[in-house]
């Protein structure tokens, strides 16, 4: 893999000499679902030695024998350099970086399982999205608590797994906090090295130091996608979806800022980009669930009655709980929460959302106008 050149301002390093970032040569991808397999394929295509771990030995054997994942990415041939295994110790042995791609509700247990097998200081990039139920922790905080001493970041963006694995042009954000020495030598920062590791002719990473903003965008967008699906399923069209996307992004910005993130991060790939993609296609399980519910299909009959993990359904609880704790109003997320978890009627709930008091769209315009309800006399 070729090195990535950073132009460092003279005032920071004493001269305009370019610096080269070194990619990681061996990584572990923990999670053999569609997204984990797609990311492993990207890294292998970039020339990296990849260990792809999954719980099921039968699936790992199938991947080894056929170079395909028939359960999650059927029909797609995976590149050389990708080594599937169900042995967690073998997957993590010698890993220079880890992509953690497990469902958000299993993340804490997975991090604990990894601890005995992980070398000191190995950076971990979260490729799942959510907020831990009960604690209100961002997923990076969960991993930091279970695996102290490891740099923790995230890889996020508008990325459907199948398109990524097929080599469709795709962009994503790699975010890690930048410590003092990372700013002095950014080419050595985990975010820069991992971005270079994952870069191919089709997969383009960007680097961010705003992990909070990236994580909030990833968690909230799934809830907004369910709202878009609900309204689409109920028979509404583009005006409604555009309004939900735009105002949903404002909810993402407000929560990110309250937690110490940057509002502008939410306008990037991991916010607006991911939100737009997830809210635009039933390829997204979140959008698909909302669409089915909007059509009046009972929850237990959605997805043909097959048990299906939908991250936004779980995150509707944790996002709303966290927003209430920090005093952030998120009316769209509240509406989704009410329908999914409080038995609220879908039509009436969204009608009430539209009839809330009128507000100024710029935050600087502090105005609230209550709807006219007739002569109070």
Q: Annotated catalytic sites, by residue?
A: 221
Structure tokens at 176: 């890690």
What phi, psi does 261 have (nearest 5°)?
-90, 180
Residue whose entry in the numeric block shows the structure tokens 């984990």 = 36
- Residues 176, 209: contact at Cβ < 8 Å? yes
- Residues 19, 31: contact at Cβ < 8 Å? no
Q: At what angle do helices 285-294 and 311-326 cross, to 10 degrees?
A: 90
C-alpha–C-alpha distance, residues 221 and 319, integer Å:
10
Residue 203: which residues within 8 A CB-CB, separation 6 or more?
42, 45, 46, 164, 170, 171, 172
C-alpha–C-alpha distance, residues 138 and 143, integer Å:
9
| 369: exposed, middle or buried (Cβ count in 10 Å: 0-12, 13-18, 19+) | exposed
Beta strand pairing status for 124-126 and 97-100?
parallel
Residue whose entry in the numeric block shows the structure tokens 């509707």 = 316
230-267 per-residue burial string, b: 16 or more CB within 10 A, e: under 16: bbbbbebeeebbeebbebbbebbbbbbbbbebbbebbb
Structure tokens at 194: 């991992």
3-state secondary structure of 239: helix
Q: Where are the alpha helices (DSSP H) in the chain?
A: 10-13, 34-45, 57-66, 88-92, 107-114, 139-146, 161-165, 180-184, 190-198, 211-233, 238-258, 274-278, 285-294, 311-326, 331-341, 346-354
Residue 100: which residues within 8 A CB-CB, separation 6 or more?
30, 31, 107, 110, 111, 124, 125, 126, 127, 128, 143
């Amino acid at each position: 893999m070729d090195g990535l050149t950073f132009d460092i301002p003279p005032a920071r390093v004493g001269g305009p000499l370019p610096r080269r970032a070194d990619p990681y040569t061996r990584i572990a991808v923990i999670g053999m679902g569609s997204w984990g397999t797609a990311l492993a394929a990207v890294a292998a295509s970039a020339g990296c030695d990849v260990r792809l771990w999954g719980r099921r030995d039968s699936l790992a054997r199938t991947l080894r024998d056929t170079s395909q994942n028939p359960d999650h990415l059927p029909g797609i041939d995976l590149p050389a350099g990708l080594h599937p295994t169900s042995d967690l110790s073998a997957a993590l042995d010698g890993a220079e970086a880890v992509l953690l791609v497990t469902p958000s509700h299993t993340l804490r247990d997975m991090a604990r399982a990894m601890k005995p097998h992980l070398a000191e200081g190995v950076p971990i990039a979260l490729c799942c999205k959510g907020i831990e139920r009960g604690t209100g922790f961002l997923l990076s905080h969960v991993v930091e608590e279970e695996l102290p001493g490891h740099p923790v970041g995230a890889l996020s963006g508008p990325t459907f797994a199948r398109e990524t694995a097929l080599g469709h042009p795709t962009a994503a954000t790699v975010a890690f906090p930048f410590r003092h020495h990372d700013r002095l030598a950014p080419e050595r920062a985990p975010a820069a090295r991992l971005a270079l590791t994952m870069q191919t002719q089709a997969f383009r990473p960007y680097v961010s130091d705003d992990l909070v903003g990236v994580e909030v965008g990833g968690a909230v967008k799934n809830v907004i996608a369910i709202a878009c699906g609900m309204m689409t399923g109920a028979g509404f069209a583009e005006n409604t979806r555009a309004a939900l996307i735009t105002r949903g992004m404002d909810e993402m910005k407000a929560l990110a800022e309250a937690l110490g993130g940057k509002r502008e991060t939410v306008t990037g790939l991991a916010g607006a980009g991911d939100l737009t993609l997830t809210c635009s296609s039933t390829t997204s399980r979140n959008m698909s669930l909302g669409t089915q519910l909007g059509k009046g299909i009972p929850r237990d009959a959605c997805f043909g009655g097959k048990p299906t993990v939908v991250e936004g359904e779980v995150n509707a609880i944790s996002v709303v709980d966290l927003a209430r704790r920090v005093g952030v109003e998120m009316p769209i997320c509240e509406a989704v929460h009410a329908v999914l978890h409080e038995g609220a009627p879908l039509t009436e709930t969204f009608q009430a959302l539209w009839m809330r008091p009128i507000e100024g769209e710029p935050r600087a315009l502090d105005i609230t106008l209550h709807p006219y309800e007739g002569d109070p006399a």
